[in-house]
Structure 1
Amino acid sequence: MVINIAGRRIGLGEPPFVIAEMSGNHNHSLERALSIVDAAAKAGAHGLKIQTYTPDTMTLNLNDREFHVSDASSLWSGKSLYELYGEAYTPWEWHKPIFDRARALGMIPFSTPFDHTSVDFLESLDVPCYKIASFENTDIQLIRRVAATGKPLIISTGMATAAELDESVQAARKAGCSDLILLKCTSTYPASAENSNIRTIPHMRDLFRCEVGLSDHTIGAGVAVASVALGATVIEKHFTLSRVDGGVDGAFSMEPNELIDLVEAVFQAWQALGGVSYGPTKAEMKSLQYRRSLYVVDDLSAGQCLNHDNVRAIRPGLGLPTKYLDMIIGKKVIRNIARGTPVSWDLIV
């Protein structure tokens, strides 16, 4: 299967599609947001993703009970949900300049909507595809609304059971989505390698008959590279100019030099997959001459017998294969042979 997003082909036979997720790393500066776009393009990212919401479309302006992040281990501990989304959201009037800059630099810009109003707004900007976040992957009404656009749909699968994903996938397909990509995701920030369980990727591909990728919150490129070996065709990473600049997602975001390395590493991983192959490749043919083979290692006179002292398995590989050593021992040579001559059948009787 191959999915086409704004002219970019996505599938097992194509190089991985790398998405730089800006999220709230713009730190409330449009200038910084555009600089992130520039840096993502320079690093080789193929897609640029933002998020479309306001604090009021996400939650209520309360700061107690479940509306307050009290988990001391959380990056966002001590904040209300409303405050957090107020820090992280991308003003809607910034979307067009961000998208325009990304397109001008050869990237495919799109966004994650969180309610119907954000889908309507993104439709007015003619986005080429949509992304559903892990925390919304059970929001069937939102999935139906996005799927009804008929555009390719990417869904992160963090926290979702197989049964929940089945409901979401069926809802998307019934509502008009024919191009679906699921992203294996671990919804912790940052995520650990041992909790990534990327062996799920080929299973997910078989189970839901769709393209599968990775939304990766781990530090570094190792999990992403490994996921390509398991069939991931999309890699999404949070991206920032510098982690020391802060930002709601800065702590687990990649910096420009790291994204450069990631783009190259996942491309090499994809190239290395190749196909099932035995025997020398075209590139290896010249190396065959440096295999071990049988050579005469002493000057010999006609009629002299070959033995383990005057024949050895050495490099290069122009003589008989070494498997014939026992067969030729005791055979006589038919003419004088100089040391360093490769053994061949026409030299012996």
Structure 2
Amino acid sequence: MALITSLADLSVLLVEPSRMQAGLVSRMLEHQGVARIKLRETGAEALAALAEVGNDNRVVISSLYLPDMQGTDLVTAMREDAALAVVPFILVSSETRPQVLDPVRQSGACSIVAKPFNEQQLSRALYAAADYLSPPEDVDLAEKLIDAAVAAGADAVKFQTFKAEKTVTLTAEKAEYQKSMTGTNESQYEMIKKLELSDADYWVLSKHAQKAGIFFLSTPFDEESVDLLDQIGVPVFKIPSGEITNLPLLKKIAQKSKPIILSTGMATLGEIEEALNYLKQHGAEDIILLHCTTNYPAPVASVNLCAMETLRCAFQVPVGYSDHTEGITIPIAAVAMGACVIEKHFTLDRTLPGPDHRASLEPQELAMMVKVVRDVELARGNGIKSPTEEEEAIKRVARRSIVATRDIRVGDVLTEGDVAIKRPGTGIEPRYLGAVMRMKAKVPIQRDQVIQWDMIE
């Protein structure tokens, strides 16, 4: 994806069945400096054009009503195609009803321009599309985090998706750990507003994760973000500890019918039970609980890993661990105790500004944690106690057998003085010594020879 420095860098696919309207929009685009314009009349023709190789910095401008489909269907088809998931989509329509336009927004349109429109309105939509194609520094940093997670061997990378104005009041205070890490000169709203990404950014990050070969997840903090992440196609919804009593949000997530990971920091067993029951009542089936201590960093003494077994026994669901301690010792211990999921904050550099960096792992630490977690997972095994294939071979060398202490003739009755217990373990086991006594030799047995059952009667 090339850097967008002006609208002249854009390549526009205009999907418009009306030749008059297509001509009008084309002239507006040309006046804005856009020289690469393709015209198509139907959704199928548009998708075929988008499949062509070598068409960087593409933007789709489409009418709502096409001969073979609606604009909603076109943008949905684009978002479901990995190669087209981040292509900006601008809808132009005279339609004003929310029930018609909202599905287009939820499907991933970056702008909706109302007909009739002027050149200035179209220009604003094009510049929004240009921003979509030129990720800001925050997105570049996030892409580097994705790459670091892949290099470390993680299974998934998770972000947070929120609209600050829907999440916190303008005057809400920051938590003490946030104050210690980012100061006291701003409110919680001002702090998280600076961390907010656009909808387009999440499409870009999802696409980057897909190309890198890692699952893309993000925690939604509001219902609009739930719809966005569902449209992007996250395979799992993560519910943070602070939202465990937010029943409207839980209902919205449950109705998406996707697996759920629910963090339980700050929660009582009663609150966890209520949240689980509510999620299940509204369609959730596959739920994993994460034990968690909500503090940054969390003191080791406050972790209480044994609570994982309490959750497992109380609710009969898989249990993992969301770690906020420093270092990698505690999450590794959690895996040894049966945690099926480990969530851990990481950063490219602990000196970066922000509330969580100082309590996060750096890439080399994350890689070490993943390596040790994989080893512990293998070491846990299946819980069945039985000799391994390797042990069976060693057992023949390390165990003992009943051995003759003298040359024994045919018909001799064996007594305690006739035998000893020595390696290897290829003959009669010592536990049968009592049964061997007073038995007769069927064949000659040489001194220091391992005695087998077919030698005696």
TM-score class normalised by the smaller sequence = 0.7 to 0.9
**1:35 corresponding residue in structure 2:** 144
**1:3 corresponding residue in structure 2:** none
**2:429 corresponding residue in structure 1:** 321
Return the alpha-carbon distance in structure 1 between the equivalents of residues 382 and 233 of structure 2.
38
**Pair 1:218-2:315 in alignment:** no
Gaps of 5+ in 2: 1-135
Q: CA deviation at 1:115?
A: 1.6
Of 161, 169, 173, the residue aligned with 1:52 is 161
**1:343 corresponding residue in structure 2:** 451
- Change beyond 3 A, Cα 1:97–1:78: same
**1:183 corresponding residue in structure 2:** 290
Alignment of 1:1-349 (within 5 A): 29-62=138-171, 67-69=173-175, 74-76=180-182, 78=184, 80-245=187-352, 247-290=354-397, 291-296=399-404, 300=407, 302=409, 311-325=419-433, 337-345=445-453
Secondary structure at the counterpart of residue 67 of structure 1? coil
State the TM-score, normalized to the length of structure 1. Answer: 0.77
Q: Is the 8 A contact 1:58 1:85 kept in 2?
A: no
Secondary structure at the counterpart of residue 294 of structure 2? coil
- Supply the AA of the counterpart residue of 2:421: A
Q: Is the 8 A contact 2:177 2:296 kept in 1?
A: no
Higher helix fraction (1 or 2): 2
Q: Is the 8 A contact 2:158 2:217 kept in 1?
A: yes
Q: Is the 8 A contact 1:88 1:248 kept in 2?
A: no
- Supply the AA of the counterpart residue of 2:250: I
- Supply the AA of the counterpart residue of 1:235: I
Return the alpha-carbon distance in structure 2 between the equivalents of residues 163 and 217 of structure 1.
23
Q: Is the 8 A contact 2:408 2:447 kept in 1?
A: no
Secondary structure at the counterpart of residue 232 of structure 1? coil
Question: CA offsets, 1:282-319, max 9 Å, x none?
Answer: 3422122111223346x636488977777432221123
Q: CA deviation at 1:72?
A: 9.7
Q: Is the 8 A contact 1:69 1:76 kept in 2?
A: no
Secondary structure at the counterpart of residue 327 of structure 2? coil
Question: CA offsets, 1:112-171, max 9 Å, x none?
Answer: 111223223333423333212111211112212222222222221100112222222222
- Change beyond 3 A, Cα 1:331–1:121: closer
- Change beyond 3 A, Cα 1:154–1:253: same
Secondary structure at the counterpart of residue 371 of structure 2? helix
Secondary structure at the counterpart of residue 163 of structure 1? helix
Return the alpha-carbon distance in structure 2 between the equivalents of residues 194 and 68 of structure 1.
24
Q: CA deviation at 1:104?
A: 1.2
Question: CA offsets, 1:227-266, max 9 Å, x none?
Answer: 3344432221112223344543222222333333333333
Which portions of structure 1, spanning 4 or more consecutive aligned residues, are displaced by more than 6 angstroms?
A: 303-310, 329-336
Return the alpha-carbon distance in structure 2 between the equivalents of residues 47 and 184 of structure 1.
18
- Supply the AA of the counterpart residue of 1:81: Q
Return the alpha-carbon distance in structure 2 between the equivalents of residues 332 and 128 of structure 1.
71
Higher deviation after alignment, 253-262 or 153-162: 253-262
Return the alpha-carbon distance in structure 2 between the equivalents of residues 120 and 326 of structure 1.
75
**1:13 corresponding residue in structure 2:** none
Return the alpha-carbon distance in structure 1 between the equivalents of residues 169 and 266 of structure 2.
23
Secondary structure at the counterpart of residue 379 of structure 2? helix
Return the alpha-carbon distance in structure 1 between the equivalents of residues 236 and 162 of structure 2.
17
Higher deviation after alignment, 105-114 or 312-321: 312-321
Q: Is the 8 A contact 2:217 2:237 kept in 1?
A: yes
- Change beyond 3 A, Cα 1:188–1:77: farther
- Change beyond 3 A, Cα 1:137–1:288: same
- Change beyond 3 A, Cα 1:76–1:207: farther
Q: Is the 8 A contact 2:178 2:355 kept in 1?
A: no
- Supply the AA of the counterpart residue of 2:371: E
State the TM-score, normalized to the length of structure 2. Answer: 0.60
Structure label with greater radius of gyration = 2
- Supply the AA of the counterpart residue of 1:116: E
Q: Is the 8 A contact 2:146 2:157 kept in 1?
A: yes
Q: Is the 8 A contact 1:56 1:82 kept in 2?
A: yes
- Supply the AA of the counterpart residue of 1:322: P
Q: CA deviation at 1:52?
A: 1.1
Return the alpha-carbon distance in structure 2 between the equivalents of residues 307 and 46 of structure 1.
64
